[in-house]
Amino acid sequence: MHSQFRRSAPPSLRLAAILAGALALIGGPRLHAAEAANVVVDFTAHRQPTSAYSLGSTVSTFADGGSNLIKGPNQALWQRYLGELGPLVWRIPLYHHDGQVGSAAGGVHGGNEGEAYVRAIKSIGGIPMIAVGGSSNDNDIRAGDAAALVRYFNDNGGSHGGPVDDYIIGNEPDNGFGMDPYIHGGNGSDGFHAIAVAMRGASARPLSIAGPSLVTWADYKFGDFRKFFAARHADVDVVDFHKYGDGERVDNLRRTGQYADAIAWLRQEIDASFGDRASGIAIQVGEFNYNSWYDGSWRDAFYTSRNLVHTASVIGHVLNAGGSAYQYADNNGPLGLITDGTDRNDQPQGQHVRLPAYWGLSVWTGGTWSRRYGSTMVAATSAIPELEVFATDDRKKIVLVNKSASLDRRVVMDLRGQASGVYSAWRHGRGMNPADFAAGAQFRAPTRIANAVAFAQGRVVVQVPWMSVVVVTVD
């Protein structure tokens, strides 16, 4: 038989409990000091705006007898995988030739597939941005051909899959073609001004025209940028440049801030050269990737979480600086978003696996997994070594990037402008075995680690393992 008698607490404990309750009611000091924040996100401190043009990739047009967005037996899978990333800008190299529109990419120059590509891009919710190519290379462009390309897509209400309003004139003219012919004409080109005028005259719709799409941003390229700006600033709406890491297999991760440095430098030059038009000129990283080429020594960079972390970090720095970030490319071996089904470049035969760069893009787009980036970048700072934080409003989204190769991080966030509510979180897991295409976390969708968890006093705590990314959304 159990007794119903319950012993009373000692008087001293009863008094302590009464005092604690009284202090809580009048807002007195807590019995335990709050854990100090090591990351601050201020949703009220708006920085650079974002837009539908902030993020994208490239349809390379390479298929090599296999599949891509419009070719091969697995094209439906490609469309599904790319569509699941959510709406993006999709750059595509095309040119007009003898009444047809086909690929302008080296090695696949020709065909009449332009309409099919543009329709496929739109079918997955994308914005097509055409990189205008020449008759035999990227830059030997005739003004009449460029105008015909615009009419092909924009005449008759866009009956060939258009309309298309966004164009880039040429591609990397500083890589063998020559800046003077690109700017002034020669070597098969009519020159940037003549091409831009012909394109604008071919459409009743206002066009956005980008250039000069130089190979990279670096101090030894400053002269080429300035030469172009001095001669053709009146013809350009978007300044486009490329950048492929910094040539370091591991240390590229520590140098993603260079992308923001590039945009800051270009903005300064635009302000100095473009006069009254300067404030309306956009800047885009037309191509970025971990490195511009691959061999086996880069295997543990491209096929591990290093690439996931690098991609997410590059995008964060570019958006923070007010630019747009376009990864290169969808179907390009190790530099692609999805394996091509061959066993080349250490990839798995017969499989189409979403690569770490794909998941780095999804960190920001949200895709079918989490939330898309919001309309404005906001102030966000980290006191944790090798841990970066980026955030957006009005869709409140936080991206935590742990670049450490050995240390997990406990992140204690102070959210300003959102004292209470609920948060959800997804972890893009660490995977450092480049051969584990079957089960490696770097090739898999993110894991949901928190679902509508209540928080108060602006404090959210999450764990971010080394070489991984955690996405947090706040409501």
Pick the CATH number of 34-46+376-474 from 2.60.40.1180, 1.10.287.3510, 3.30.70.270, 3.10.20.440: 2.60.40.1180
Long-range CB contacts (< 8 A, 24+ apart) of 18-26? none
Looking at the predicted structure, is the pLDDT value of residue 6 above 80?
A: no
Q: What is the mean pLDDT of residues 6-18?
A: 40
Q: Do 328 and 287 meet the contact criterion of CB atoms below 8 Å apart?
A: yes
Q: What is the mean pLDDT of residues 171-197?
A: 98
Q: Do 181 and 187 meet the contact criterion of CB atoms below 8 Å apart?
A: yes
| Domain extents in the chain | 34-46+376-474, 51-365
Express each pLDDT in 210-268 by its tens digit: 999 999 999 999 999 999 999 999 999 999 999 999 999 999 999 999 999 999 999 99
Compute φ and ψ for 433, nearest 5 degrees: -95, 105
What's the farthest any 2 CA atoms get from each other in the chain? 105
Q: Write the CATH number of the domain with boundaries 51-365.
A: 3.20.20.80
Q: Provide the residue type at 63 as one letter.
A: A
| pLDDT band at residue 110 under the 50/70/90 scheme | confident
Q: Give the range among 32-46, 69-83, 323-337, 400-414 with minimum mean pLDDT.
A: 32-46
Express each pLDDT in 125-160 by its tens digit: 999 999 999 999 999 999 999 999 999 999 999 999
Looking at the predicted structure, is the pLDDT value of residue 331 above 90?
A: yes
- Between 75-84 and 114-123, two packed helices, what is the crossing angle to 10 degrees? 50
Q: What is the mean pLDDT of residues 461-466?
A: 98
Compute φ and ψ for 211, nearest 5 degrees: 180, 175
Residues 72, 329, 333, 245: what is their CA dihedral angle, to the nearest 10 degrees? 180
Q: Do 395 and 410 meet the contact criterion of CB atoms below 8 Å apart?
A: no
pLDDT at 65: 82
CA distances, 60 to each of 90, 104, 328, 332 (Å): 10, 10, 8, 7
Q: What is the mean pLDDT of residues 99-114?
A: 87
Q: Cis link prior to 163 (omega < 30° from 0)?
A: yes
| pLDDT band at residue 107 under the 50/70/90 scheme | low
CB-count burial class (<10 Å; 0-12, 13-18, 19+) for 65: exposed
Q: Give the range among 26-40, 180-194, 258-272, 385-399 with minimum mean pLDDT.
A: 26-40
